[in-house]
Chain A
Amino acid sequence: MLSSLWEQTINLTLFVILLRMMPPILLGALGGLMTDRAGVINIGIEGLMLVSAFTSVAVGSATDSWLIGIAGGVLASMLVSYAMAFFSLKMKVDIIVSGFAVNIFGTGITVLMMSILYDSHGNFVPEHPVSIPNIVIPFLDQIPFLGKLLSGHNLMVWISILAVVFCYYMLYHTPYGTHLRATGEEPAAARSLGIPVVRIQYSALVWSGFFSGLAGAYLSMGMTSMFVRDMTAGTGFLALAVVIFGNRHPFGILAGSAVFALATAMTMIIETTPGNVIPSQFIKMVPYVVTIIALVVYAIRKHRKTLFS
Chain B
Amino acid sequence: MKQRSAVYLDLLGILLAIVAALVIGILVIFMVSNEPVAALQALFIEPFTSLFSFGSVLNRMIPLVFTGLAIVVVFQSGVFSMGAEGQLYIGALTGALTAVYVTDLSPWIHIPLVILAALIGGALYGLLPGVLKAYFKADEIVSTLMFNFIAILFVSYLLNYVFKAPDSGGFARLPFIQDSAKLGQIFNGFPTHAGFLIAVLAAVAVYLLMYKTKTGYELRTVGKNPLFAEYGGIKPKKVLILSIAISGALAGLGGTIEVIGLHGTLKDNFSAGLGFDGIIVSLLARNHPIAVLLSAFFYAYLQVGGQIMQANSDVPRDLAIIIQALLVIFVSSQAIFAYLKQRKLMSASGGGRDAK
Asked if B161 is at the interface (CB within 8 A of a chain A CB), the reply is yes
Given A281-B153, A295-B143 in contact, is the A112-B322 Cβ separation under 8 Å?
yes
Contact-size category for B: 35 or more
Which label, helix, strand, loop or mixed, suits the secondary structure of the B interface? helix
Asked if B355 is at the interface (CB within 8 A of a chain A CB), the reply is no
Nearest residue (CB) in B for A238 is B149
Among B32, B82, B136, B324, chain A packs the most CB atoms within 10 A around the CB of B136
Asked if B180 is at the interface (CB within 8 A of a chain A CB), the reply is no
Across-interface contacts of B280 in A (CB, < 8 A): 100, 104
| Contacting pair A108 B322 (CB below 8 A) | yes
Asked if B312 is at the interface (CB within 8 A of a chain A CB), the reply is no
Asked if A116 is at the interface (CB within 8 A of a chain B CB), the reply is yes
Interface residues of B in 121-139 (CB under 8 A from A): 132, 135-139
Binary interface encoding of chain B residues 81-108 relative to chain A, with 1 for a CB under 8 A from any of its CBs, else 0 = 0100000000000000000000000000
Interface residues of A in 1-24 (CB under 8 A from B): none
Question: What count of chain A residues pass the 8 Å CB interface test?
Answer: 47
Across-interface contacts of A103 in B (CB, < 8 A): 276
| Contacting pair B154 A241 (CB below 8 A) | no
Among A282, A284, A292, A296, chain B packs the most CB atoms within 10 A around the CB of A292
| Contacting pair B153 A97 (CB below 8 A) | no
Asked if A146 is at the interface (CB within 8 A of a chain B CB), the reply is no
| Contacting pair A288 B334 (CB below 8 A) | no
| Contacting pair B137 A307 (CB below 8 A) | yes
- Of the 9-residue stretches A87-95, A131-139, A163-171, which lies at the interface with chain B? A87-95
Binary interface encoding of chain A residues 75-112 relative to chain B, with 1 for a CB under 8 A from any of its CBs, else 0 = 00000000000010011111011101111110111011
**Taking the nearest CB of chain A, how far is it from the CB of B289, in angstroms?**
19
Across-interface contacts of A302 in B (CB, < 8 A): 137
Asked if A196 is at the interface (CB within 8 A of a chain B CB), the reply is no
| Contacting pair B136 A112 (CB below 8 A) | no
Asked if A279 is at the interface (CB within 8 A of a chain B CB), the reply is yes
**Taking the nearest CB of chain B, how far is it from the CB of A294, in angstroms?**
10
Asked if B146 is at the interface (CB within 8 A of a chain A CB), the reply is yes
| Contacting pair B80 A96 (CB below 8 A) | yes
| Contacting pair B336 A282 (CB below 8 A) | no
| Contacting pair B316 A112 (CB below 8 A) | yes
Asked if A244 is at the interface (CB within 8 A of a chain B CB), the reply is yes
| Contacting pair B328 A285 (CB below 8 A) | no
Asked if B65 is at the interface (CB within 8 A of a chain A CB), the reply is no
Across-interface contacts of A109 in B (CB, < 8 A): 318, 322
**Taking the nearest CB of chain B, how far is it from the CB of A73, in angstroms?**
19
Asked if A251 is at the interface (CB within 8 A of a chain B CB), the reply is no
Nearest residue (CB) in A for B135 is A307
Across-interface contacts of B137 in A (CB, < 8 A): 299-300, 302-303, 307
Nearest residue (CB) in B for A104 is B325
Across-interface contacts of A102 in B (CB, < 8 A): 325
Asked if A59 is at the interface (CB within 8 A of a chain B CB), the reply is no
Across-interface contacts of B156 in A (CB, < 8 A): 281
| Contacting pair A289 B142 (CB below 8 A) | no
Distance in angstroms between the alpha carbons of A237 and B143 in the assembled complex: 11
Binary interface encoding of chain B residues 149-173 relative to chain A, with 1 for a CB under 8 A from any of its CBs, else 0 = 1100110110011000000000000
Nearest residue (CB) in A for B129 is A292
Among B32, B146, B283, B336, chain A packs the most CB atoms within 10 A around the CB of B146
Interface residues of A in 254-296 (CB under 8 A from B): 279, 281-282, 284-285, 288-289, 291-292, 295-296
Given A240-B145, A288-B150 in contact, is the A101-B328 Cβ separation under 8 Å?
yes
| Contacting pair A284 B318 (CB below 8 A) | no
Given A90-B335, A100-B279 in contact, is the A299-B139 Cβ separation under 8 Å?
yes
Asked if B333 is at the interface (CB within 8 A of a chain A CB), the reply is yes
Asked if A226 is at the interface (CB within 8 A of a chain B CB), the reply is no
| Contacting pair A104 B139 (CB below 8 A) | no
Among B156, B321, B324, chain A packs the most CB atoms within 10 A around the CB of B321
Asked if B141 is at the interface (CB within 8 A of a chain A CB), the reply is yes
Across-interface contacts of A303 in B (CB, < 8 A): 136-137
Binary interface encoding of chain B residues 294-338 relative to chain A, with 1 for a CB under 8 A from any of its CBs, else 0 = 000000000000000010000010111110111011001111101
Distance in angstroms between the alpha carbons of A98 and B280 in the assembled complex: 11
Asked if B196 is at the interface (CB within 8 A of a chain A CB), the reply is no
Asked if A121 is at the interface (CB within 8 A of a chain B CB), the reply is yes
**Taking the nearest CB of chain A, how far is it from the CB of B10, in angstroms?**
15
Interface residues of A in 146-176 (CB under 8 A from B): none
Distance in angstroms between the alpha carbons of A234 and B273 in the assembled complex: 11
**Taking the nearest CB of chain A, how far is it from the CB of B14, in angstroms?**
14
| Contacting pair B318 A299 (CB below 8 A) | no
Distance in angstroms between the alpha carbons of A94 and B320 in the assembled complex: 23
Across-interface contacts of B320 in A (CB, < 8 A): 108
| Contacting pair B154 A281 (CB below 8 A) | yes
| Contacting pair A292 B322 (CB below 8 A) | no
**Taking the nearest CB of chain B, how far is it from the CB of A39, in angstroms?**
13
| Contacting pair B335 A91 (CB below 8 A) | yes
Task: Select which of B146, B161, B316, B321 is within 8 A of A292 by beta carbon.
Answer: B146
| Contacting pair B154 A285 (CB below 8 A) | yes
Distance in angstroms between the alpha carbons of A104 and B28 in the assembled complex: 17
Asked if B147 is at the interface (CB within 8 A of a chain A CB), the reply is yes
Nearest residue (CB) in B for A83 is B329
| Contacting pair B141 A43 (CB below 8 A) | yes
| Contacting pair A300 B136 (CB below 8 A) | yes
Distance in angstroms between the alpha carbons of A237 and B144 in the assembled complex: 11
Task: Select which of B138, B153, B160, B335 is within 8 A of A92 by beta carbon.
Answer: B335
Distance in angstroms between the alpha carbons of A114 and B154 in the assembled complex: 33
**Taking the nearest CB of chain B, how far is it from the CB of A178, in angstroms?**
24
Selected A-B contacts with CB under 8 Å, 16 pairs: A92-B333, A96-B141, A97-B328, A102-B325, A105-B322, A109-B318, A111-B316, A111-B318, A112-B28, A112-B322, A121-B318, A281-B157, A282-B157, A284-B153, A298-B138, A299-B137
Task: Apart from A100-B276, A282-B157, A295-B143, list 7 A-B contacts with CB within 8 A.
Answer: A101-B325, A101-B329, A108-B319, A111-B321, A237-B149, A244-B139, A289-B150
Q: Closest 5 interchain pairs by CB?
A: A108-B321, A92-B334, A105-B325, A281-B157, A108-B322
